[in-house]
Amino acid sequence: MDNNTLVIGFLIDYIEEHITDEISLDILAYASGYSQYHMHRMFTGLVGITLHQYIKRRQLTEAAKSLIFTDKRIIEIALDAGYESQQAFTLAFKDMYKQAPQRFRHNRLFRPIQLKFEVSENLTNLKGDRIMDIEVIEKGEINLVGYKANTKKGFFVIPRLWHKLHEGKNNIKNRMDLDYVV
């Protein structure tokens, strides 16, 4: 492995060991011996998201796990995830999981959003791309609803399609989950 990959591996391990602590770029830069700027560029280039995004996604994934597998109060989970209030935690959680922590706990379905990023030798030439483990799961028949558009003139049409879908989602027959549109 090259040095950059080793540094990223160190950062990820450090984040995992301190997932319930406050983790800042200053702390990570000091621990790794790199400048914030260089460390941030290396991490984003290899992992594909910023350090801040990775940390928040990991903390919220661990919080989601705690909601399902422990009886901890939501405020305790919020504090463990690095939030100063339950309200701030709830807003961030809803943004990532599309439902409030209380409802997520009630549904009892753990879906990890950001698992620990695994660094390996074949990642040295990625330049921001990601390797995904693909798992084929066979399901019964499903019906999908969607819209089609041409992006030759730009991707600005995608937000319009999402808006159109959300405007018309209540007219979709036989929806299974009325609060969630994928």
Q: How many residues are listed for the chain in this entry?
A: 182
Q: Of 35 and 134, which is predicted with more confidence?
A: 35
Which residue type sits at 105? R
Segment 50-66, tens digit of pLDDT: 999 999 999 999 999 99
Segment 103-143, tens digit of pLDDT: 999 998 888 888 888 887 655 444 433 434 456 677 787 77
CA 161, 164, 170, 173 torsion-angle sign:
negative
**If you average pLDDT over every residue of the chain, what do you get?**
83
- Structure tokens belonging to residue 179: 């609060």
- Do residues 39 and 54 touch, judged by C-beta distance below 8 A? no
Q: Of 105 and 173, which is predicted with more confidence?
A: 105
Q: CA separation (Å) from 136 to 75, 112, 139?
A: 37, 17, 10
Segment 1-23, tens digit of pLDDT: 567 788 899 999 999 999 988 89
- Give residue for tokens 């791309």: 129
Output the pLDDT for position 127.
Answer: 41
| Spatial CA neighbour of 66 closest among 93, 39, 48, 87 | 93
- Give residue for tokens 């400048």: 35
**What is the distance between the alpha carbons of residues 16 and 158, in angstroms, rounded to a whole number?**
35
- Do residues 168 and 147 touch, judged by C-beta distance below 8 A? no
Count Cβ atoms below 10 Å from residue 88 Cβ, excluding itself: 13
